Amino acid sequence: MTHRAGKGTGREPVGKKTPDNKAAVGDTGSGAEAEAVSVLKRELQEKITSLTEANRQLKRKIFDLYTIFEISRNFNAVLDYHQLLDTFMYTSLAQVGASKAAVYLERGRRDGVFLVAKHKGSGDFPADEAAFNSGTVLVDYLTRLNRPALTGDLMGEIANEVERGILEKFHPGLVVPLIFRSRLGGLLLISEKISNREFSMDDIEFLSILGNKISVAIENTRLYEAENRASQQLRAAQEQLVHSERLAALGEMSAKVAHEINNPLGIIKNYILLIRKAAGENEETVGYAEILSQEIERIARIVKELLDFHRPKGIEFQKVDVALILNDVLLLMERQMENKRIRLDRRYEPDCPKVEGSPESLKQVFLNIVINAFDVMSTGGTLGISVSCDEDEVVIRFNDTGPGIPPEIIPRIFEPFFTTKEPGKGTGLGLSVCYGIIRQHDGSITYRNTDDGGCFEVRLPAVRAVG
Ligand SMILES: Nc1ncnc2c1ncn2[C@@H]1O[C@H](COP(=O)(O)OP(=O)(O)O)[C@@H](O)[C@H]1O
Ligand SMILES: [Mg+2]
């Protein structure tokens, strides 16, 4: 009512007062007075509008801050990397009302290559292999800027061709650098709003704060995962230690038993000879003596292998070329290789250093491994043998295309007497002998299943070139 009364009433006679309330006070007075009142009113109206707007913004800020608060509390509690990224992206998309987004992060090692870690929403996305690389103008710029930037501002001069290709898929949109301790940890790319409106300062502010929070959280999950990996490795190393100790103890015990068996074995052999002699023409007794003799031979073989496992210290060590020893072994196996239709694939890295070792013992190791491989490739296959040099080790790998080994029995294959072969076929000593010998050489022997078979890996310390 006051409003209506005020409009165009500037010419009303001076002094005519409205009997009404105080709010209508401006409706009375002279023309100038009325004019002033109307100006005041307009100003008041503007103030109200701007206050309403400020209030609205404040409410949104509070809401944003509350969301950020809630999310970062959630971020800090989440230790799973993927779950963290999911939450981050859904929140970003929902909050600014955009249709799609992608997060680019460094994988595994920090090699400065930022590949897409996750994308969400609908539409066209860049190819998975398209990456941002640290050190480019764009990446340096965003790191320094440490705030979201519009794709449009980056696509001109700043981005290189690959980067432009990625940005185009989100244009017109925003790029949010995820900075942790002044280092770029990743990038969030977010496309235009579904409403087609421009991004507001609030959107940018929100994403900027959220980006900072997520960088810290990502770093936390990374640390957590790294710690997990480290403790897993430690556990594996401990298990390996216990395992080697057990094997060593087993080997020692077997060798002692073998030693004890050796003496009576010699006596038994002599008595068999005597029995044979005494049997004269009695074929039945001669036959029994023959069987006895064969079985005794078998025992003697096992005993010999057991003794090999624990050779007296001080076997002759010399500088040896592993490749030459391998070739000797393979020469022995040539005939069998043909018969079993096994293809040989030799790859020796040239100029590998020599190793300090006993040629005879190493020959025995390689022979055992090759024979095992032949045994599992009964219907043919490929035996790949490679020699390469690591920093201070010579690495020999034997890859077969056999069936591999069930994971649950892999830990047992180096134990003495462990065999999966039929009785009479295997003694289960081959690999334990290998293990003992390689240990004497300060090396390691391990097995792992591969995509198409199995792989034994022998590592021996390389002899350093003098000078
Ligand atoms: N290349 C291989 N592929 C699959 N299994 C293997 C291979 N080499 C060894 N093995 C497994 O390890 C066991 C132990 O081998 P080893 O100690 O040489 O004894 P043996 O050959 O007398 O059985 C074998 O019985 C077999 O189960
Ligand atoms: Mg064997």
Whole-number percent of the chain with pLDDT over 70: 90
Q: What pLDDT does 311 receive?
A: 59
Q: What pLDDT does 220 receive?
A: 82
**What is the 420 CA–ligand 1 centroid distance (Å)?**
7
Q: What pLDDT does 381 receive?
A: 96
Point out the ligand 1 atom lying closest to the alpha carbon of residue 420.
25
Residue 168's closest CA among 159, 181, 176?
Answer: 159
**What is the 341 CA–ligand 2 centroid distance (Å)?**
19
Mean pLDDT of 116-122: 90
**What is the 374 CA–ligand 2 centroid distance (Å)?**
10
Mean pLDDT of 22-42: 74
Which of 67-76, 327-336, 452-461 has the least mean pLDDT?
Answer: 67-76
Angstrom distance (rounded) from CA 198 to CA 200:
6
Q: Identify the residue whose C-alpha is closest to ligand 1 atom 27.
A: 420
Angstrom distance (rounded) from CA 277 to CA 127:
86
Q: What pLDDT does 23 receive?
A: 46
Q: Identify the residue whose C-alpha is closest to ligand 1 atom 1.
A: 373
Ligand 1 mutation pick, 306, 379, 421, 431, max ligand atoms within 8 A of CB? 431
Beta strand spans in 284-349 (E):
318-320, 342-348
84: pLDDT strictly greater than 90: no
Distances (CA, A) of 3 to 10, 23, 78, 244: 13, 10, 57, 96
Ligand 1 mutation pick, 247, 364, 413, max ligand atoms within 8 A of CB? 413
Neighbours of 86 (CB within 10 A): 15
Q: Identify the residue whose C-alpha is closest to ligand 1 atom 24.
A: 419
Q: What is the chain's Cα-based Rg?
A: 41
389 forms beta bridges with 394
Mean pLDDT of 120-137: 91
467: pLDDT strictly greater than 50: no
Q: What pLDDT does 310 receive?
A: 62
Mean pLDDT of the chain: 85
**What is the 417 CA–ligand 2 centroid distance (Å)?**
10
Q: What pLDDT does 304 receive?
A: 80
Which H helix or E strand runs over 444? strand 444-450
Q: Which residues surround ligand 2, an ion (CB under 5 A)?
A: 372, 430
Q: Identify the residue whose C-alpha is closest to ligand 1 atom 7.
A: 372
Which of the four pLDDT bands, split at 50, 70 and 90, describes residue 251? confident
Ligand 1 mutation pick, 367, 378, 419, 449, max ligand atoms within 8 A of CB? 419
**What is the 156 CA–ligand 1 centroid distance (Å)?**
64
Which ligand has the shortest distance to the CA of 420?
1
Ligand 1 mutation pick, 372, 377, 448, max ligand atoms within 8 A of CB? 372
Distances (CA, A) of 329 to 150, 273, 303, 367, 461: 67, 36, 23, 6, 21
Whole-number percent of the chain with pLDDT over 90: 40
Of 261 and 68, which is predicted with more confidence? 261
Which ligand has the shortest distance to the CA of 433?
1
Q: What pLDDT does 6 receive?
A: 40
Q: What pLDDT does 29 receive?
A: 58
363-376 pLDDT, tens digit per residue, is: 889 999 999 999 99
Output the ligand 1 site: residues, CB below 6 A: 368, 372-373, 376, 400, 402, 405, 413, 418-421, 426-432, 454
378-415 pLDDT, tens digit per residue, is: 899 999 999 999 889 999 999 999 999 999 999 999 98
**What is the 429 CA–ligand 2 centroid distance (Å)?**
7
Angstrom distance (rounded) from CA 214 to CA 379:
56
73: pLDDT strictly greater than 90: no
Q: SS3 of 296, please?
A: helix
Which of the four pLDDT bands, split at 50, 70 and 90, describes residue 12? very low
pTM to 2 decimal places: 0.50
Of 266 and 461, which is predicted with more confidence? 461
Angstrom distance (rounded) from CA 284 to CA 325:
47
Mean pLDDT of 419-445: 88
Q: Identify the residue whose C-alpha is closest to ligand 1 atom 19.
A: 428
Q: What pLDDT does 4 receive?
A: 41
**What is the 299 CA–ligand 2 centroid distance (Å)?**
16
**What is the 425 CA–ligand 2 centroid distance (Å)?**
9
Q: What pLDDT does 8 receive?
A: 41
Which of 24-28, 100-104, 230-234, 265-269 has the least mean pLDDT?
Answer: 24-28
**What is the 337 CA–ligand 1 centroid distance (Å)?**
18
